[in-house]
């Protein structure tokens, strides 16, 4: 399995300047390659692909080191491949009858990363005192905050150097051998069987065990700070220095919130994957297909997709089982008697006239999600105890 480990880089002033020039050259090359594709097409009606571009820009790099001299072969290759992918995606979407945007020239703020093959002009080094440094050709040995060790037997494949709001990051793509996955300890005390999760509309998640999980208060605090900062931007005069300053503040808050959210979801998904033998969730693509679009966008932005993704790879590591079910009618059905209880989105409580079950609507939905998972696995509700038994792996 492939994993990305991200570290903060702390370049000194000279290294920062070198990184900036490196990014400048990379951006120039990317834009030149894009231009080459466009002109080739205009002149001959034929496209130009990666192999031809690589030959061209390899020679360009040797001929004019002042233009591209800071880049090495592998980073040039990665840039050209990135462009190749952008075009492939563009044509695929055209073919599918969509109206995609044409690959665009990148301005300074749109150009965020440069990639390398590990070992080619870049390497992690260890100093005598055990401290790690990231060596990058033409930049030097950069300090980094090595907050998590790289697992033994992991192979570093690719390296991405990133610039976000004037901060620098190192992303290492690692290949971990599959046997590194730890199967869940049988009968371990923390394991508490299967759980169903409803991605609620009000609270973030509801579980079949009755737990409602929301964004933590500090995250909500950051969100309201963001709103204040956004208002500040709109009050200030366009083109003014004060406005520019306020815009930077908004960008920093966005980044901070993204980090906080990421961190929170990582911990939440890890905990869920470690504690449960089986997790049932809804297929998000289906879930929001027919709901109110504005509602779906406002409360769910990118968050839930990220949640599913993170959960999917956490379960791979813990040996928990993830079952994705069709969300149809999970919110309307009674989780005890199966009666259909219609309710509008504004109604928070499931109140079954048939069997008298009164429950938070999202918790009721979460129980239905779990039941769907079991029926899709070919087990009835009576077998719930089977899966709850600690002997399940
Ligand atoms: Zn009922």
Interval between CA 182 and ligand 1 midpoint (Å): 40
Interval between CA 355 and ligand 1 midpoint (Å): 4
Per-residue confidence (pLDDT) for residue 146, from 0 to 100: 92
Interval between CA 352 and ligand 1 midpoint (Å): 5
Intervals of CATH 3.30.420 along the chain: 184-212+272-388
CA distance 169 to 159: 10
Clarify whether 283 is annotated catalytic.
Answer: no
Clarify whether 362 is annotated catalytic.
Answer: yes
Task: CATH number for 184-212+272-388: choose from 1.10.3470, 3.30.70, 3.30.420, 3.90.550.
Answer: 3.30.420
Per-residue confidence (pLDDT) for residue 381, from 0 to 100: 47
Per-residue confidence (pLDDT) for residue 132, from 0 to 100: 92
- Banded pLDDT at 192 (limits 50, 70, 90): low
Interval between CA 376 and ligand 1 midpoint (Å): 21
Query: Which range is least confidently modeled, 56-70, 143-157, 195-209, 340-354?
Result: 195-209
Interval between CA 358 and ligand 1 midpoint (Å): 9
pLDDT over threshold 50, residue 224: yes
Interval between CA 56 and ligand 1 midpoint (Å): 70
Give mean pLDDT, residues 368-376: 89
pLDDT over threshold 60, residue 197: yes
Per-residue confidence (pLDDT) for residue 379, from 0 to 100: 57
pLDDT over threshold 70, residue 259: yes
Condensed to tens digits (0 to 9), the pLDDT of residues 314-366 reads 888 777 888 888 888 888 899 988 889 888 878 888 999 989 889 998 899 99
Per-residue confidence (pLDDT) for residue 296, from 0 to 100: 46
Condensed to tens digits (0 to 9), the pLDDT of residues 103-126 reads 889 988 789 999 999 999 899 999
Catalytic residue (choose from 274, 282, 317, 360): 282
pLDDT over threshold 70, residue 176: yes
Interval between CA 340 and ligand 1 midpoint (Å): 8
Condensed to tens digits (0 to 9), the pLDDT of residues 84-93 reads 999 988 888 8
Per-residue confidence (pLDDT) for residue 278, from 0 to 100: 87
Beta bridge partners of 228: none
Clarify whether 351 is annotated catalytic.
Answer: no
* Cβ–Cβ under 8 Å, residues 381 and 368: no
Catalytic residue (choose from 198, 274, 317, 360): 198
- Banded pLDDT at 171 (limits 50, 70, 90): very high
Interval between CA 354 and ligand 1 midpoint (Å): 5
Structure pTM?
0.67
Interval between CA 357 and ligand 1 midpoint (Å): 5
pLDDT over threshold 90, residue 254: no
pLDDT over threshold 60, residue 189: no
- What's the chain's average pLDDT? 83
């Amino acid at each position: 399995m492939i994993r990305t480990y991200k570290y903060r880089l702390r370049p000194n002033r000279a290294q920062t300047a070198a990184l900036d020039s490196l990014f400048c050259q990379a951006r120039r090359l990317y834009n030149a390659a894009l231009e080459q594709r466009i002109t080739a097409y205009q002149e001959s009606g034929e496209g130009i692909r990666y192999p031809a571009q690589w030959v061209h820009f390899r020679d360009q790099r040797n001929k004019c080191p002042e233009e591209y001299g800071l880049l090495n072969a592998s980073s040039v290759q990665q840039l050209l491949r990135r462009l190749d992918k952008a075009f492939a995606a563009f044509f695929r979407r055209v073919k599918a009858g969509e109206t995609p945007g044409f690959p665009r020239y990148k301005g300074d703020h749109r150009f965020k990363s440069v990639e390398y093959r590990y070992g080619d002009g870049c390497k992690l080094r260890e100093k005598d005192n055990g401290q790690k440094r990231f060596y990058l050709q033409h930049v030097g040995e950069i300090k980094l905050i090595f907050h998590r060790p790289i697992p033994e037997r992991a192979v570093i494949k690719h390296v991405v150097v990133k610039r976000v709001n004037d901060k620098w990051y190192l992303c290492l793509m690692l290949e971990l051998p599959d046997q590194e996955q730890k199967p869940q300890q049988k009968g371990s005390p923390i394991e508490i069987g299967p759980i169903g999760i409803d991605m609620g509309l009000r609270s973030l998640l509801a579980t079949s065990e009755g737990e409602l999980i929301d964004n933590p208060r500090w995250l909500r605090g950051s969100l309201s700070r963001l709103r204040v900062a956004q208002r500040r931007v709109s009050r200030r005069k366009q083109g003014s220095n004060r406005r520019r300053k306020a815009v930077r503040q908004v960008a920093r808050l966005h980044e901070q919130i993204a980090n906080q959210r990421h961190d929170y979801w990582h911990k939440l998904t890890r905990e869920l994957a470690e504690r449960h033998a089986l997790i049932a969730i809804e297929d998000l693509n289906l879930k929001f297909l027919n709901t109110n679009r504005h509602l779906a966008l406002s409360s769910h932005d990118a968050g839930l997709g990220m949640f599913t993704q993170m959960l999917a790879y956490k379960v791979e590591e813990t040996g928990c089982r993830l079952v994705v079910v069709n969300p149809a009618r999970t919110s309307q059905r009674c989780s005890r008697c199966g009666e259909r209880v219609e309710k509008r989105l504004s109604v928070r409580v499931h109140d079954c006239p048939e069997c008298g079950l009164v429950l938070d609507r999202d918790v009721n939905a979460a129980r239905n999600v779990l039941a769907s998972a079991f029926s899709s696995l070919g087990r009835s509700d009576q077998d719930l105890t089977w899966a709850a038994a600690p002997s399940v792996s």
